[in-house]
A = this chain, B = another copy of it.
Amino acid sequence: MDWLDSIKWDRDGLVPVIAQERGSKDVLMFAFMNREALARTAELGEAVYWSRSRQRLWHKGEESGHIQKVHAMRLDCDADVLLLEVTQLGHEPGIACHTGRHSCFFQRYENGAWHTVDPVLKDPESIYK
């Protein structure tokens, strides 16, 4: 069986993907891939997602330069979630979030509210020209 057929695509033909940074092991972001995005990711060695808002392939970093080099891909026990081991290129430390932060998970729960706890590393206006 083709390795792409092993995946249990959801009702929209997508699979959720977690991107984790090599080295720091920080979880950087969460996105989706369709079959074509995953095939492209494997070919390129760079993360290509499916943008649900734009309904098209999204080669991460195509605008920002913040490419994700993919070192390894893992599939979970139910074959319906992927975990990528990546290096976040284009800035040091890596910027995965469109807000200019290292990780998309920058809001932390405390005392009944979400608090922004991580800094903006680069102004998004200068990232997306």
Q: Which residues of A contact B (CB under 8 A)?
A: 3, 6, 16, 18, 20, 24-27, 29-30, 42, 72-79, 81, 83, 97-99, 101, 104-109, 112-114
Contacts and interface: CB of A to CB of B under 8 A. Distances in A.
A76 B3 contact: no
Contacts of A76: 29-30, 104-107
B20 A27 contact: yes
A39 to B, nearest CB: 11
Contacts of A74: 105-109
Nearest to A77: B104
Given A109-B42, A109-B74, A81 B25 contact: no
Nearest to A117: B74
30 contacts: A3-B114, A6-B114, A16-B16, A16-B30, A18-B27, A18-B30, A20-B27, A25-B26, A30-B76, A30-B81, A42-B109, A72-B108, A72-B109, A73-B108, A73-B109, A74-B105, A74-B106, A74-B107, A74-B108, A75-B105, A75-B114, A76-B104, A76-B105, A77-B98, A77-B99, A77-B101, A77-B107, A79-B114, A81-B104, A83-B105
